[in-house]
Every structure is written in C-alpha cells, then in structure tokens.
C-alpha cells in the first residue's frame, strides 16, 4: 500500500455527501478506519481528531472516519460529539477490503471479523505516504498531524 496510489473510492458519507477520493487531489487526506460508532476507543479517537481539526485544515488536510456502521448511526455519532469532519459508511466493506483492514480479532473469547484500527495518509498527489495499523488511540491524531507537518517541509 505504502507509496502506491490510494484506491479510487466512491462511498456514502454524512451530511448527505458522497465521498469520492478523486475530489481530494491537491489536499492531504487522512482516512482513519475504526471498529464501531460510539464505543469508548472510537469516541476518544474521533474527539482527538475533532479537537485538532483546525490544525488539519490549516495544513490543507481533510479528515474522514470510516467504519461499517450505517449512515444513520454515523449521523448520530457525529452530532453527539460535534465532529467537524465527515464519516464514511462502508457497510459493504469496499474501502475496508481496498485498504486491507479487516482482521480476525478476539472478542470476549470468540473470533470475530472486524476492522483493525488503521489510518492512512494520502498526499496531494493521491499517493499513500504513511500508514498506521493496530493504532493506539491516545495521541494518534497528533502523530498524524506531525506527519503532515513533516511532509510540508
């Protein structure tokens, strides 16, 4: 994935938008995949991206959260925590498959298929320049931002 073109994707997003990856050429794009709306880790992660959103915008970057949840679930999650960025609904796992983030995970002693918390940074030319897999939530948004800052220099 690294140093290769980001997959072309067209998926439904919050605010009645359609996410089309081609629309964001010329900007940095942060795609963060998370397991489930309104769960503790995913909420913290979203809030950290929310709290740094102005810095991402100033760095000419757009942030999108992606999970398999429905648009209705996403709209509620986004509204409850005042996320200033859009959430992409990937119920058919199109983006999840393209970025290879579906993994077998242990949940309460059972094997379940789920999203491995992962983030991808796409540069203004549409190339994946960083990827983080098995993300630890705390401080992750700041780490992604620092990576964008270092790409500017």
Name all domains of the chain by residue range, CATH numbers in brackets: 24-152 (3.40.30.10)
96 is catalytic: no
pLDDT in tens, 97-123: 999 999 988 878 888 889 999 999 999
Catalytic, out of 31, 42, 63, 88? 42
Band (pLDDT 50/70/90 cuts) for residue 19 is very high
In sequence order, the β-bridge partners of residue 20 are: 10
Q: pTM (2 decimals)? A: 0.95
Beta strands in the chain (DSSP E): 10-12, 18-20, 28-33, 61-67, 86-89, 102-107, 110-115, 118-122, 128-133
Exposed/middle/buried for residue 98 (C-beta within 10 Å: 0-12, 13-18, 19+): middle
- β-strand 61-67 against 10-12: which pairing, if any? unpaired
- What is the average pLDDT across 24-29? 96
Q: Rg (Cα) of the chain, in Å, rounded?
A: 14
């Amino acid at each position: 994935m690294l140093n290769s073109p980001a997959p072309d994707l067209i998926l439904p997003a919050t605010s009645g938008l359609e996410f089309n990856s081609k629309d964001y050429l010329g900007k940095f794009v942060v795609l963060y995949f998370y397991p489930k709306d309104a769960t503790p880790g995913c909420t913290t992660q979203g809030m950290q991206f929310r709290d740094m959103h102005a810095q991402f915008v100033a760095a000419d970057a757009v942030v999108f959260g992606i999970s398999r949840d429905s648009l209705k679930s996403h709209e509620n999650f986004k509204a409850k925590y005042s996320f200033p960025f859009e959430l992409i609904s990937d119920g058919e796992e199109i983006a999840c498959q393209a970025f290879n983030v579906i993994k077998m995970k242990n949940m309460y002693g059972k094997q379940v298929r789920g999203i491995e918390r992962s983030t991808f940074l796409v540069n203004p030319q549409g190339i994946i320049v960083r990827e983080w897999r098995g993300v630890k939530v705390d401080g992750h948004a700041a780490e992604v931002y620092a990576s964008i800052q270092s790409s500017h220099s």
